[in-house]
Chain A
Amino acid sequence: MKDNILEIDNLHVRFSTFDGLFSAVNNVSLELKYNESIGIIGESGCGKSTLSFTVMRYLASNAQVDGAIRFKGENLFDKSEKEMESYRGDRIAMVFQNPYSSLNPSLTIGFQLDEVSMHHQNLNKIQAREATIKALEMMNLGDPKGIARRYPHQVSGGIQQRICIAMALLCKPDLMILDEPTTALDVTTEAVILDSIKELKDKLNMSLMYISHDIGVINKVAEKIVVMYSGEIVESGPKQKIFENPSHPYTRALINCMPRGGVVKENTKLNTIPGYVRKRGADEGGCPFADRCEKRNETCESLYGTKEIGEGHFAACDRAYATDVPDTFIEKLAPKKRNVDTDFDSEKELLKIEDLHKIYGARRKVYAVNGINFDVKPHSVLGIVGESGCGKSTTGHMVSGLFKPSKGRILFDDVDVSIAWNKRDKETLKNIQLIFQNPGRSLNPSHTVEKIIGRAMQKLANINDVKERREKIIEILRKVDLGKEYLKKKPRQLSGGEQQRVAIARALSISPSLIVCDEPTSALDVSVQASVLNLLNDLQLDTHVAYMFISHDLNVINYLSDYIMVMYAGKIAEYGKRDEVMENTHHPYTEALLSAVPEVDPTKQKKIIELEGQLPDPAKKITGCPFAGRCHKQVGEICEKEYPPMVRLSEDHYYFCHIKP
């Protein structure tokens, strides 16, 4: 009892809405010891955030709460609003997902941080500023005095989030709740922040409650893991045990559906979880995961209880340990085999990019893409990876014709198509298709699935007969694993994964030869991401279409690509066949990117190359190496002054750096 800082007892949170009463958190009990860090993991809609908001008692007015949350033995539900004030921010601090919406854009950073200690600790202005500077220093921010004078928009997202954490640290809280603090950030920034969180936790003797959907991230910061599904805890226990012996089918599925190091399309098909997280009514019983579980039987609907499997390791499944043979854990699904590589290695390129530039704006210029050359071979997948702002999406949009390049040429099947959509001919529009990041926004909310897919066919494939078109649409829907009943549905009635399938169906319906996929899975949950990746792979093998696959996630790129192109600040850093780039990495940026990817396997610990600083200012033309300012291997002045030459390692593998192999 005494060594628990936080105890949650049989917590229920229900919301009464127009559709009736539904349960967001259901019978959750957990304990957090002093100086312990707990990771809460689950897909979106699993009640992780509601749980954390309940601890802070930030709940909407239609919430009904039942149970107890004891912080150092005192039940927070018994406190008045006034008393809660001394807990919020002071003893329990919280960091939210979006740093730019948690900071006030019209006040300086220093002012906002000072306010916290002036309010909670009654410091005067000078003392408060001292505390502010100290907190900023703790987050390893260079020039804390300068940062305190600036406004939130004048610093990057990563620094903003570190400021938010510094703000949470100001009152030296005993418990810090972090709600997906790095989800909106780049991997390299994420790595730096996770490291400093870990360091500070030990230094300040804090307890942490870390919420994330990413197992890799949880693996880095948490000692104890709680897996939540549809408002309930399905498994909990020490990190090592959960990773070595995941016992609940959901935990296994979650771990297995992530593409990770070594998993590539040729050797493994990703595991998926069919269906999606349902909203649960207030009085539904049974296992919440039953409807998606592969191993369900009749007892699942009624029987439900938590059992201790090992020391401190609980799982809420009847068969969790009965069928515990190793092969059920890593179930390898055989991938679809590639047809004979007929023209895969042919000399002729499908798409050839020559010296492509894109400069936005007239008066204040933004150099988005600064002269890149590459090509896409027919029937292959080119993965383009890089952090936000590296120009990868701009490149994809220029290829698909959303806008015209400022300079350079795009040759598609030897035809110059470096023009915008309104000047392109029908044939080109048909042959290059684009799949957007957010399916909710790329499908017209007022149109039915039939109209969305049918219009593309009518417009570009000249299928004008309604009946013929409908048959073709049903056929293509079947290919993306959707049934006939979807024809009359509108995007709003579909889940995120289903929406993206419709978007894929739309792109494929007119048999293009190149599909530009602009982060098609990054708005989706991991289990849905896995099924979309499987689908994209299968479809590519069936139809021989080529993909230009753009993503910030190196694991996804690694899984799906034949060729990988790493971009940085509008330039190519490294290009090559997948295995060459992944195993024989040469560019320092690629190395850093690879090292920053959170490892899922807890037995493997790798050294992270920490990248300090920010991307170069896109408003300035860069003469030297764009990566020079952040590079850990800089060789000298030459890096800043001269653009590095291309170093060719093999016919298909090259990189741009002053360091020779």
Chain B
Amino acid sequence: MKYFLYQLKKSPLAVIGIAIILMWLVFAFIGPSIIPYTHTAMDSENQMVGPGMAGHLLGTDSLGRDILARIVYGSRSILTVALLTSIFSTFVGVVLGFSAGYFGGKADTFFLRAMDILMAIPPLVLSMVILGILGDSSIVSLTIIVSIAFVPATARVSRGVLLTEKSQEYVSAARIRGENHLYIMFVEILPNTMGPIIVEATARFAYSIMTVASLGFLGVGLQPPTPDWGMMVIENKPIIAQAPWTVLFPALAIASLVIAISIFSDFVSKVLIHER
């Protein structure tokens, strides 16, 4: 922790990244209670007003809905999906990757080929196809589907870090103590691989925001009335010339959050490398 702060002092970029993430978290938690509008409320007198006008800080869209309110409400759903996705895909990835790497042999070969096949399809396309077939996209189904699309990546990373730890002598020591496989994998090895796994999980967090926003943009993401940043961009595309703020602010929201998390992820990996 002390080292974390020491490094933080030396890298202003990481400070900015962390500040942006904190800002979004604060928005998502307390934003709805301080903003005078809800995301669905239509101000029919003030349609497509510019930022700062008629009490709308970031303006309104063609239906007179407050952009700020929609972005803040949207941050709740996107952060929920992204957080759940990164936890869920990391968890499944660790279990799969650890089992394959630990037991090795045919199971490992089968695992690698299966992951290769899944990886050959881009996560976005895979999610789109599944969502298209299901025809329903709630926060739950979106989380599950994006997680599945991310599992190959997290599983491969987990397998890789397990392989380097597996040859350590403390694993041999556990074996000749008669420990079972589950104990060795999750009590002996897992704590020592937490560094790279946490880094991967934070990277997945950023990717899933991108993926959810892209799905929203393509119209297969969260369905109205749930506000979604990607959806806001595509909704307001026809009026981009008259009211550019309706597209600009949601796009900025996506970009700021994704970049901030990427910076944070890099920083975490730097600190964790020192820890080892």
Bound CA–CA A506/B176 (angstroms): 13
B188 near A459: Cβ-Cβ < 8 Å: no
Bitwise, A407-442 to B at CB < 8 A (1) or not (0) is 000000000000001101010010011101110011
Bound CA–CA A197/B192 (angstroms): 44
Bound CA–CA A516/B112 (angstroms): 38
Instruction: Give B133-170 interface residues, CB cut-off 8 Å to A.
Output: 168-170
A455 near B175: Cβ-Cβ < 8 Å: no
A421 near B170: Cβ-Cβ < 8 Å: no
- CB-CB under 8 A from A438, the residues of chain B are 169
Q: Is A494 an interface residue (CB 8 A)?
A: no
Using A436-B172, A436-B173 as known contacts, say yes or no to A445 and B178 having CB atoms under 8 A apart.
Answer: no
- Judged by DSSP, the binding face of B is helix
Which residue from chain B places its CB closest to the CB of A458 in the assembled complex? B177
Q: Is B29 an interface residue (CB 8 A)?
A: no
A446 near B192: Cβ-Cβ < 8 Å: yes
- CB-CB under 8 A from B172, the residues of chain A are 402, 434, 436, 442
B173 near A442: Cβ-Cβ < 8 Å: yes
- Kindly provide the distance from the CB of B79 to the nearest chain A CB, expressed in whole angstroms: 30
A460 near B191: Cβ-Cβ < 8 Å: no
Which residue from chain A places its CB closest to the CB of B274 in the assembled complex? A18
Q: How many residues of B contact A (CB 8 A)?
A: 16
B177 near A456: Cβ-Cβ < 8 Å: yes
B170 near A441: Cβ-Cβ < 8 Å: yes
Bound CA–CA A506/B178 (angstroms): 14
A429 near B191: Cβ-Cβ < 8 Å: no
- CB-CB under 8 A from B178, the residues of chain A are 421, 424, 426, 429, 459-460
Instruction: Give B215-261 interface residues, CB cut-off 8 Å to A.
Output: none
Q: Is B3 an interface residue (CB 8 A)?
A: yes
- CB-CB under 8 A from B168, the residues of chain A are 441-442
A446 near B169: Cβ-Cβ < 8 Å: no
Q: Is B179 an interface residue (CB 8 A)?
A: yes
Pick the residue among A421, A447, A455 that contacts B176 (CB under 8 A). Answer: A421
A421 near B169: Cβ-Cβ < 8 Å: no
Bound CA–CA A104/B5 (angstroms): 39
Bound CA–CA A401/B179 (angstroms): 13
- Report the tally of A-B residue pairs with Cβ distances under 8 A: 54
Q: Is B6 an interface residue (CB 8 A)?
A: yes
Bound CA–CA A610/B172 (angstroms): 37
Pick the residue among A434, A447, A459, A506 that contacts B179 (CB under 8 A). Answer: A459
Pick the residue among A18, A442, A447, A506 that contacts B169 (CB under 8 A). Answer: A442
Using A18-B3, A18-B6 as known contacts, say yes or no to A444 and B170 having CB atoms under 8 A apart.
Answer: yes
Q: Is A376 an interface residue (CB 8 A)?
A: no
Bound CA–CA A636/B170 (angstroms): 48
- CB-CB under 8 A from B175, the residues of chain A are 402, 421-422
- CB-CB under 8 A from B188, the residues of chain A are 444
A444 near B192: Cβ-Cβ < 8 Å: yes
Q: Is A657 an interface residue (CB 8 A)?
A: no
Which residue from chain A places its CB closest to the CB of B168 in the assembled complex? A441
- CB-CB under 8 A from B179, the residues of chain A are 459
A434 near B192: Cβ-Cβ < 8 Å: no
- CB-CB under 8 A from A447, the residues of chain B are 191
Bound CA–CA A172/B169 (angstroms): 44
Bound CA–CA A434/B177 (angstroms): 10
Bound CA–CA A340/B197 (angstroms): 56
Q: How many residues of A contact B (CB 8 A)?
A: 27
Pick the residue among B3, B6, B176, B191 that contacts A434 (CB under 8 A). Answer: B176
Bound CA–CA A18/B270 (angstroms): 14
- CB-CB under 8 A from B3, the residues of chain A are 18
Bound CA–CA A402/B191 (angstroms): 23
Pick the residue among B170, B174, B176 that contacts A400 (CB under 8 A). Answer: B176
Which residue from chain B places its CB closest to the CB of A432 in the assembled complex? B176
Q: Is A185 an interface residue (CB 8 A)?
A: no
Bound CA–CA A443/B191 (angstroms): 13
Instruction: Give B190-227 interface residues, CB cut-off 8 Å to A.
Output: 191-192
- Kindly provide the distance from the CB of A429 to the nearest chain B CB, expressed in whole angstroms: 5
A455 near B177: Cβ-Cβ < 8 Å: yes
- CB-CB under 8 A from A441, the residues of chain B are 168-170
- Kindly provide the distance from the CB of A404 to the nearest chain B CB, expressed in whole angstroms: 13
Which residue from chain B places its CB closest to the CB of A397 in the assembled complex? B172
- Kindly provide the distance from the CB of A463 to the nearest chain B CB, expressed in whole angstroms: 14
Bitwise, A42-62 to B at CB < 8 A (1) or not (0) is 000000000000000000000
Bound CA–CA A426/B177 (angstroms): 8
Bound CA–CA A156/B132 (angstroms): 62
Bound CA–CA A444/B185 (angstroms): 12
- CB-CB under 8 A from B6, the residues of chain A are 18
B170 near A442: Cβ-Cβ < 8 Å: yes
Which residue from chain A places its CB closest to the CB of B180 in the assembled complex? A422
B176 near A401: Cβ-Cβ < 8 Å: yes
- CB-CB under 8 A from B177, the residues of chain A are 429, 455-456, 459-460
B176 near A429: Cβ-Cβ < 8 Å: yes
- Kindly provide the distance from the CB of B76 to the nearest chain A CB, expressed in whole angstroms: 35
Which residue from chain B places its CB closest to the CB of A441 in the assembled complex? B169
A443 near B170: Cβ-Cβ < 8 Å: yes
- CB-CB under 8 A from A426, the residues of chain B are 178
- Kindly provide the distance from the CB of B107 to the nearest chain A CB, expressed in whole angstroms: 17
Bound CA–CA A436/B172 (angstroms): 10
Instruction: Give B1-23 interface residues, CB cut-off 8 Å to A.
Output: 3, 6
Which residue from chain B places its CB closest to the CB of A459 in the assembled complex? B177
- CB-CB under 8 A from B170, the residues of chain A are 441-445
- CB-CB under 8 A from B192, the residues of chain A are 444-446
Bound CA–CA A456/B169 (angstroms): 15
A446 near B191: Cβ-Cβ < 8 Å: yes
- Kindly provide the distance from the CB of B239 to the nearest chain A CB, expressed in whole angstroms: 53
Bound CA–CA A511/B48 (angstroms): 81
- CB-CB under 8 A from A506, the residues of chain B are 173
- CB-CB under 8 A from A434, the residues of chain B are 172-173, 176
- Kindly provide the distance from the CB of A116 to the nearest chain B CB, expressed in whole angstroms: 35
- Kindly provide the distance from the CB of B176 to the nearest chain A CB, expressed in whole angstroms: 5
Instruction: Give A387-404 interface residues, CB cut-off 8 Å to B.
Output: 400-402
- Kindly provide the distance from the CB of A229 to the nearest chain B CB, expressed in whole angstroms: 28
- CB-CB under 8 A from A437, the residues of chain B are 169
Bitwise, A502-530 to B at CB < 8 A (1) or not (0) is 00001000000000000000000000000
Bound CA–CA A442/B168 (angstroms): 7
- CB-CB under 8 A from B169, the residues of chain A are 436-438, 441-442
Bound CA–CA A429/B172 (angstroms): 13
Instruction: Give A325-357 interface residues, CB cut-off 8 Å to B.
Output: none
- CB-CB under 8 A from A436, the residues of chain B are 169, 172-173
Bound CA–CA A460/B177 (angstroms): 7
Bound CA–CA A434/B192 (angstroms): 22
Instruction: Give A462-507 interface residues, CB cut-off 8 Å to B.
Output: 506
Bound CA–CA A433/B172 (angstroms): 12
- CB-CB under 8 A from A455, the residues of chain B are 177
Bound CA–CA A446/B191 (angstroms): 6
- Kindly provide the distance from the CB of A277 to the nearest chain B CB, expressed in whole angstroms: 22
Bound CA–CA A436/B192 (angstroms): 19
- CB-CB under 8 A from A456, the residues of chain B are 177
- Kindly provide the distance from the CB of A503 to the nearest chain B CB, expressed in whole angstroms: 8
Bound CA–CA A443/B172 (angstroms): 10
Bound CA–CA A401/B168 (angstroms): 16
- CB-CB under 8 A from A424, the residues of chain B are 178
- CB-CB under 8 A from A444, the residues of chain B are 170, 174, 188, 191-192
- Kindly provide the distance from the CB of B197 to the nearest chain A CB, expressed in whole angstroms: 13
- Kindly provide the distance from the CB of A460 to the nearest chain B CB, expressed in whole angstroms: 6
- Among A401, A446, A460, the most chain B Cβ lie within 10 Å of the Cβ of A446
- CB-CB under 8 A from A429, the residues of chain B are 176-178
B binding-site residues for A, Cβ under 8 Å: 3, 6, 168-170, 172-179, 188, 191-192
Q: 5 closest pairs, A vs B, by CB?
A: A446-B191, A442-B169, A444-B170, A441-B169, A436-B169
6 more CB-based (< 8 A) A-B contacts, given A18-B3, A18-B6, A444-B192:
A400-B176, A429-B176, A443-B173, A445-B192, A455-B177, A460-B178
Question: What are 8 A-to-B residue pairs whose CB atoms are below 8 Å?
Answer: A402-B172, A429-B176, A429-B177, A434-B173, A434-B176, A444-B170, A444-B191, A459-B178
